[in-house]
Structure 1
């Protein structure tokens, strides 16, 4: 059952449609190195009790602080966009994010899966909509189709922790809130309506950014809910725990050809185990650098760059099963 919303934002979508157009190596265009696989069939880390997990996550932008509440992603000023990325990929499975989204006009909290050939599965939360979560998907970086996003209910998402789960299989994907399925996408539906179904190994990325930053395109600001007033901050997203099930554990995933099809993926099963362990690292602040999270140095993420890296700037909203296309 999809959540109904009466707000149809006057989005300037013609200037907003932004897909991830770059990747370090796109396997649909050339031969790329194998992706590092999550070697275990399961992985769980509690940021609230065990601190940051340097062995499994890189901080790719900004600062992330871990406290007894969890990992804190904070925006204090223009340009802040703290983000973490898993050091491994999974190939079908289940990912759960136990988290609280951030309040704030124009602030976007996100938890996504993303592949080298630009397949993507998203949870997104706008700071001006405390009771709504956006679900979305992209295949092979294609963003011209208009019926991918569906809004679902997420009551008091900024003050109450919820379990936001993506169950990703070869034939379908489900988005769940606190164990309740609120959206199901079949592969057939994606191919006919969204050009392609996400089906290649994906890593996990979690972050917060200001879509309402005044430097962004007008359409991006409208989509994010309006211009961000940093004087109302700081704005904070809290990640308590991540739980992962990897259906195809191993040491690596290799694209057998340039099709981007699931059947072309070769799984190196050497080193596969049943569960992963993480070493507690206590309460601390980790800072992004050019390499692994937790090292010294800083990295600055621009709002437009963060928007482009993930396909957050959408061109339509699908509400209650209907496709709503906004035009200028």
Structure 2
């Protein structure tokens, strides 16, 4: 997040204007939106060291993402670059695992972001100049009226060591894990979520990206948080993503919002009908060869670069890790459809993820799940009604 340390009096004066500038094509808490394309399988995996690995992804404009033995390569070699890609599908609750190396370099930020149409958000973020810590954060509906959600956790050299970062997310708890070890748990009904009101609980896409928080054109607060100005002469600065896996707790052909509450109980999980025919996924396939070609994810929807807005912050030290009270959320700038070439492993359209030539893996089938709305955790809604 982009952070600014300020005096308490300034913080109070800023509450009415220091808002996150998050982006969404259509916010279902404000207007009626079209359905989201769902991940219709219960599991999805992509090994980016193999060809045909990106058929279910779309790149932001001007993102050149290459592939090789170390997986997907997100390189910043000059000012203005922010290579980013995002899944073409949404999922609702489950587990996300990303095996990666963060980009090095003062002012460089590597990001793993889950974000929904109504601006629920779950983040991992890595500062290129910090070799000992990683930041986790979350937001509900773009709400930045509380300042106690960001947490820095100790880690060994994320820029040069492969680590697997996990988000384990359901209607009751949000867990962050590093290499299988839990480092943080957020409960639905706790003060940091405003007792459920700001708990992420709507269908998400996964976004991966590398950006220059310390670029000279950014605000002083952003540059300070990113660790200082970027010296592009010391580049290139590269983030590597070896693999991604997603388990979807609610496989669906599509998801839709029945009302404007943004509550998980209002989500329709559609598993039959026309959308299922359009969004059918390919059977499991594998590929054993490696790829060194430049492959751009497809252009099936508009994707904003991973860049974030300025935030108000107060920091307190708590031993080996410290909490950051942040008012920020991802300001994913207005997206432009990627103009780069289609991947050699196959293409995808807005109708649904993956082509038959993809080496991505899907298991399970939404058609075996009865169409329903999310019903679990109703007892926790009491906290929202009280508010």
Query: Cα RMSD between the aligned structures?
Result: 3.0
Where structure 2 has 5 or more consecutive residues not aligned to the other structure, the ranges are 327-387
* Aligned residue in 2 for 1:158: 159
1:179-206 per-position Cα deviation (integer Å, ceiling 9, x unaligned):
0000000011243379510000000000
* 1:133 pairs with 2:134: yes
Q: Secondary structure at the match of 2:175?
A: strand
Shift of 1:21: 3.3
* 1:224 pairs with 2:226: yes
Q: Secondary structure at the match of 1:45?
A: strand
* Aligned residue in 2 for 1:56: 56
Q: Is the 2:5–2:312 contact (alpha carbons within 8 Å) kept by the matching residues of 1?
A: no
Normalised TM-score (structure 1): 0.84
CA distance in 1, matches of 2:323, 2:152: 12
Q: Is the 2:85–2:303 contact (alpha carbons within 8 Å) kept by the matching residues of 1?
A: no
Q: Secondary structure at the match of 2:224?
A: helix
Q: Is the 1:147–1:318 contact (alpha carbons within 8 Å) kept by the matching residues of 2?
A: no
Q: Is the 1:42–1:246 contact (alpha carbons within 8 Å) kept by the matching residues of 2?
A: yes
Q: Secondary structure at the match of 1:97?
A: strand
1:246-265 per-position Cα deviation (integer Å, ceiling 9, x unaligned):
00001000001000000000
CA distance in 2, matches of 1:314, 1:254: 33
CA distance in 2, matches of 1:59, 1:228: 24
Q: Is the 1:100–1:162 contact (alpha carbons within 8 Å) kept by the matching residues of 2?
A: yes
Specify whether residues 92 and 194 from structure 1 end up closer, same or farther in structure 2 by C-alpha distance, changes over 3 A only: closer
Q: Is the 2:99–2:241 contact (alpha carbons within 8 Å) kept by the matching residues of 1?
A: yes
Q: Is the 1:109–1:237 contact (alpha carbons within 8 Å) kept by the matching residues of 2?
A: yes
CA distance in 1, matches of 2:196, 2:32: 26
Normalised TM-score (structure 2): 0.72
CA distance in 1, matches of 2:43, 2:324: 39
* Aligned residue in 2 for 1:167: 168
Q: Secondary structure at the match of 2:194?
A: helix
Structure 1, 21-30 or 277-286: larger mean CA deviation: 277-286
Q: Is the 2:152–2:323 contact (alpha carbons within 8 Å) kept by the matching residues of 1?
A: no
Q: Is the 1:249–1:273 contact (alpha carbons within 8 Å) kept by the matching residues of 2?
A: no
Out of 207, 213, 216, which is 1:214 matched to? 216
* Aligned residue in 1 for 2:269: 267
Q: Secondary structure at the match of 1:227?
A: coil
Where structure 1 has 5 or more consecutive residues not aligned to the other structure, the ranges are 1-8, 294-298
Q: Is the 1:147–1:317 contact (alpha carbons within 8 Å) kept by the matching residues of 2?
A: no
Q: Secondary structure at the match of 1:221?
A: helix
Q: Is the 2:256–2:269 contact (alpha carbons within 8 Å) kept by the matching residues of 1?
A: yes
CA distance in 1, matches of 2:100, 2:310: 19
CA distance in 2, matches of 1:318, 1:276: 49
Out of 234, 239, 242, which is 1:240 matched to? 242
Out of 196, 199, 203, which is 1:197 matched to? 199
Specify whether residues 226 and 12 from structure 1 end up closer, same or farther in structure 2 by C-alpha distance, changes over 3 A only: farther
Shift of 1:153: 1.8
Shift of 1:306: 4.2
* Aligned residue in 1 for 2:313: 315
Q: Is the 1:12–1:222 contact (alpha carbons within 8 Å) kept by the matching residues of 2?
A: no
Q: Is the 1:47–1:241 contact (alpha carbons within 8 Å) kept by the matching residues of 2?
A: yes
Q: Is the 2:313–2:324 contact (alpha carbons within 8 Å) kept by the matching residues of 1?
A: no
Specify whether residues 324 and 239 from structure 1 end up closer, same or farther in structure 2 by C-alpha distance, changes over 3 A only: closer
* Aligned residue in 2 for 1:91: 92
CA distance in 1, matches of 2:82, 2:52: 18
Specify whether residues 40 and 73 from structure 1 end up closer, same or farther in structure 2 by C-alpha distance, changes over 3 A only: same
Match runs of 1:30-69 below 5 Å: 30-48=31-49, 50-51=50-51, 53-61=53-61, 62-69=63-70
Q: Is the 2:136–2:151 contact (alpha carbons within 8 Å) kept by the matching residues of 1?
A: yes
CA distance in 2, matches of 1:46, 1:55: 12
Specify whether residues 324 and 183 from structure 1 end up closer, same or farther in structure 2 by C-alpha distance, changes over 3 A only: closer
Shift of 1:145: 1.2
Q: Secondary structure at the match of 2:66?
A: strand
